[in-house]
Amino acid sequence: MKHIKQYSYIIIGAFLIIIGAYGQISGKNQEKEISLPGLQELFNTVFYYIKSNHVEEVSNQKLMIGAIEGMVKALDDDHTRFLQPEAYNEFKVETVGEFGGLGIEISLRENFLTVVSPIEGTPAMRAGLKPGDKIIEINKQSTKNMALNDAVSILRGKPGTSVNITVAREGYDDVLFFNIVRAIIKIKHVSAEIIQPGNIGYLRLKQFSQNSAEEVKKELLEFKKKKVKGIIFDLRWNPGGYLTAAHAISNFFIKEGVIVSTKGRVESENRVLSASSVNAIFTDAPLIILANEGSASASEIVTGAVKDHKRGIFIGTKTFGKGSVQNEIRLNYNYAILLTVQKYYTPSGVCIHKIGIQPDIEVKQYELPDSDKNNFKELHNQKIIEKFFEQPIEYSPENLKKFMNYLEEKKYPLSELGAKIIFKNEYYNTHKRPVFDLEMDIQLQRAIDEMKKKI
């Protein structure tokens, strides 16, 4: 121990002198890669000295779990995650379709905690979070260098409690502040309705869960009984899910050919998933896919397959661009790792990872006009909107006008379109949201117009 103390003093005294030369020295030492036994010896040595001599005692578990998390972080892969028991339990609950939280799918993109997609009908969607929003603070704590698991743990919580989120959004000069009350998130994955006139089948899928294929199949068979003339399949805001569900659902519309292929380092595990005519349900009726920047992963598999096979057309905006496949590997003591093992490729051989899929017909949804954005920020931060909607109020042209007059009195006026977008969002906080709202949904309006040309 005395020997160690002497060297400690030397290191402290010499640190400022040798720091300039460190880069040259370390560069020479690292020209030759260290062997695995050598690395293991290095790890054990560091572990020994930390355990024996660090100023504060630290448990074996904390050191080893930290080492594992560091190993995963070194992959520089946004989608590989090491799940500790609490996070793993939440992950398992989420895939079933009910969990406590805000209702957003988040990811790390370019080292920023990024919203992939808010889930419709959840606190996150009602609050106005959007795909691409960069979460820079949670409860005034910076998310810089925050692990994805840690962020999820903070965002999740007891229903009825609130969390403060600071967001940087493209097109806004200043950050946006959101105070969102957590709730039990119940996801009804599939909804369907027939649009008249035209007898068009509208099918919405919000997430690719373990049961999604069976739920979609049930609705498609019902459409068949009712002799629908065409199908609009809505995958907007769908963050993805199980590869098997994406394959099965694609096969309902495509009777032959490759749907998706996966390629990784282990060649024997590379797969080509093809369609089978036995599982096809709707292969002749006109098909339109609706997707947007919140459509990721499994949503992009279906969209890519339909587009490449020219089975239907894709209307909307460019998809998110998640083209990697993760295996859920269960470990001892209720730990797990979601490990990226492959990238997937559309039938034409394209990997859309970090690229996304371009629509055949680009249609952007209604957004707040630029003239409204600054006023909206102040209305949101000062909770002026919430005060108007403290008592439930019906949506009507008369009440919309009252709302616009109220905003003018508060000196933060909005255009009629901006006021209508906000009024509708607030209205659906206290009223059942319809399967679709044609007044505000110009992407669906365009899909119906295109479908009428085909049927």
Residues annotated as catalytic (active site), given as ranges: 297, 308, 322
CA–CA separation, 190 and 195 (whole Å): 16
CA–CA separation, 17 and 19 (whole Å): 6
Q: What angle do CA 34, 35, 41 make, to 5 degrees?
A: 90
Q: What share of the chain is helix, strand, coil (3-state, %, to 5)?
A: 40, 20, 35
Nearest to 99 by CA among 149, 158, 179: 158
Nearest to 232 by CA among 2, 8, 452: 452
Which backbone phi and psi does 325 adopt, to 5 degrees? -115, 130
- Specify the pairing of strand 324-330 against strand 336-345: antiparallel
Q: For helices 243-253 and 298-308, give the axis angle rounded to 10 degrees.
A: 30
- Residue 445 tokens read as 């309006």
DSSP E strands, 169-297: 176-181, 183-186, 190-195, 200-205, 230-234, 258-264, 271-274, 287-291
Going by C-beta distance under 8 Å and a sequence separation of 6 or more, which residues neighbour residue 80?
A: 72, 326, 337, 338, 339, 340
CA–CA separation, 86 and 65 (whole Å): 14
Q: For helices 416-430 and 397-409, give the axis angle rounded to 10 degrees.
A: 110
Q: Are 103 and 239 in contact (CB under 8 A)?
A: no
Q: Are 339 and 330 in contact (CB under 8 A)?
A: no
Q: Are 434 and 357 in contact (CB under 8 A)?
A: no
Nearest to 101 by CA among 156, 29, 37: 156
